Amino acid sequence: MTEPMRIQRALARAGVASRRHAEELVAAGRVTVNDHVAKIGETVHPDHDRIAVDGQRIGAIATSAHATWLVLNKPPGVMTTRSDPEGRRTIFDIVPNTPALTYVGRPDYLTEGVLLLTTDGDAAHRLTHPSREIERQYVATVRGDVRTAAARARQGVELEDGVVLPSAVDVRPLGKGKWEFDITIAEGRSREIRRLCEALDLEVDRLVRTRFGPVSLGALHSGSTRQLTPHEARAIRDITR
């Protein structure tokens, strides 16, 4: 049996939206509980109450023990959203059709690589909360003065929303003026790596997220999904407790 919880948490746990977006849905009057308009902070009983968004009843609340977890190698040119007003392809066009599935973080349209999806919206919220300091590793294919850029990055770079100080930076030449710029950060601000590279005067040809916390991309093909390994599943449980 699912315990009573705040309405925004219930929406997140059901994979409808992140906790913050859930609050926006409630504030906009788009959420009802037993046919009355929900209020932010309202306590609900998901096993008994009828909770709906825009008139559509939400799915069952997934418990951590029975949640579905998937790893997607997100291709470029795919939106990380449930639907796109411009009709562009989204991640939900390429992952298995799973009720209440939501994404962990939101890589931009062109960024590739590791994207976690789960039916446990509460765990998704914890994984993306800044206090967790989950490491993300990226490999950017870039042009420019990469050695100087790497030295500057290791000292920290001021962006408009604060300093970015990577926990690891490495560079590898690819030839013909291209380099691999390997960066590990422990936060997930919007377009952070692209903005960092821009501040370092680097031109980004490609950006791949190769690791999110304990989950690595490995040999997973672009557009393919897989289950968590037992080791990854244990690590995720430990992080999201």
Helix 230-240 and helix 121-128, axial crossing angle in degrees, nearest 10: 80
**Token pair of 43 as six digits:** 């306590």
At 170 the three-state DSSP class reads: strand
Predicted local confidence at residue 143, as pLDDT: 98
Q: Which element (helix H / strand E) includes 97?
A: none
Whole-angstrom distance, CA of residue 185 vs CA of residue 187? 6
Whole-angstrom distance, CA of residue 73 vs CA of residue 56? 30
Q: Which of these, 130, 230, 141, 153, lies nearest to 199 by C-alpha position?
A: 153
Predicted local confidence at residue 10, as pLDDT: 87
Q: Which of these, 105, 96, 136, lies nearest to 224 by C-alpha position?
A: 96
Tell me whether residue 108 is one of the annotated catalytic residues: yes
Of these residues, 47, 93, 108, 201, which one is catalytic? 108
Q: Which element (helix H / strand E) includes 135?
A: none
At 159 the three-state DSSP class reads: strand
Q: Which of these, 51, 92, 88, 101, lies nearest to 74 by C-alpha position?
A: 92
Per the CB < 8 A criterion, the answer to whether 201 and 149 are in contact is yes
Whole-angstrom distance, CA of residue 222 vs CA of residue 209? 12
Predicted local confidence at residue 37, as pLDDT: 96
Q: Which of these, 122, 108, 113, lies nearest to 215 by C-alpha position?
A: 113
Predicted local confidence at residue 108, as pLDDT: 95
Predicted local confidence at residue 63, as pLDDT: 56
Interacting residues of 229 by C-beta distance below 8 A, sequence separation 6+: none
Predicted local confidence at residue 32, as pLDDT: 96
pLDDT in tens, the chain (241 residues): 567 889 988 887 777 777 778 899 999 999 999 989 999 999 999 888 999 999 988 876 655 557 899 999 999 999 999 889 899 999 999 999 987 788 999 999 999 999 999 988 778 888 988 888 999 999 999 999 999 999 999 999 999 999 999 999 999 999 999 999 999 999 888 999 999 999 999 999 999 999 999 999 999 999 999 999 999 999 998 998 8
